[in-house]
Amino acid sequence: MRHVARPEATYTRAEMSVETKSKAAPKKPAVHPNTWVYYDGEFGRYHDIKLGLMTHALHYGTGVFEGIRAYWNVKEEQLFLLEAPAHYDRMRRSANIMRFKLPHSTEELVNITLEVLRRNQFKSDVYIRPLLFTASEEIGVRLHNIAHSFLIYAIPFGNYVEIEGGLRCMVSTWRRVPDQSLPARAKITGSYAQSALAKSEANEAGFDEAIVLTVDGHVSEGSAENLFMIKDGTVVTPPVTDDILEGITRTLIIGLIKDELGLPVVERSIDRTELYTCDELLLCGTGAQVAPVIEVDRRTVGNGKVGEFTQELQNIYFGAVRGETPKYKDWTIPVY
Q: What pLDDT was estimated at residue 56?
A: 97
For residue range 282-301, list pLDDT tens digits in order. 999 999 999 999 999 999 99
We find that the CATH architecture of domain 36-156 is 2-Layer Sandwich (3.30)
Provide the CATH topology of domain 167-321. Answer: D-amino Acid Aminotransferase; Chain A, domain 2 (3.20.10)
Q: What pLDDT was estimated at residue 97?
A: 97
Asked whether the predicted pLDDT for residue 94 surpasses 50, the reply is yes
Mean pLDDT of 123-145: 97
Cα–Cα distance for residue pair 12/215, rounded to 1 Å: 58
For residue range 258-281, list pLDDT tens digits in order. 999 999 999 999 999 999 999 999
Percent of the chain residues past pLDDT 90, beyond the cut? 88
Using DSSP's 3-state secondary structure scheme, residue 265 falls into strand
Mean pLDDT of 50-63: 96
Q: What pLDDT was estimated at residue 25?
A: 59
State the first-to-last Cα distance of the chain, in angstroms, to the nearest integer. 92
Asked whether the predicted pLDDT for residue 17 surpasses 80, the reply is no
Output 2 or 333, whichever has higher pLDDT: 333
Asked whether the predicted pLDDT for residue 46 surpasses 70, the reply is yes
Cα–Cα distance for residue pair 278/307, rounded to 1 Å: 11
Output 207 or 14, whichever has higher pLDDT: 207
Cα–Cα distance for residue pair 202/161, rounded to 1 Å: 13
Q: What pLDDT was estimated at residue 1?
A: 42
For residue range 190-243, list pLDDT tens digits in order. 999 999 999 999 999 999 999 999 999 999 999 999 999 999 999 999 999 999
Question: What residues does CATH 3.20.10.10 cover in the chain?
Answer: 167-321
Instruction: Give the model's confidence band at 163: pLDDT under 50 very low, under 70 low, under 90 confident, else very high.
Output: confident
Mean pLDDT across the chain? 92
φ, ψ for residue 209, nearest 5 deg = -155, 160
Mind telling me the catalytic residues? 187
143: Cβ contacts below 8 Å, ≥ 6 apart: 62, 98, 99, 100, 134
Q: CA angle, 107 as apex, 191 and 76 as ends, to 5°?
A: 95
Q: What pLDDT was estimated at residue 8?
A: 47
Cα–Cα distance for residue pair 147/166, rounded to 1 Å: 44
Question: What residues does CATH 3.30.470.10 cover in the chain?
Answer: 36-156
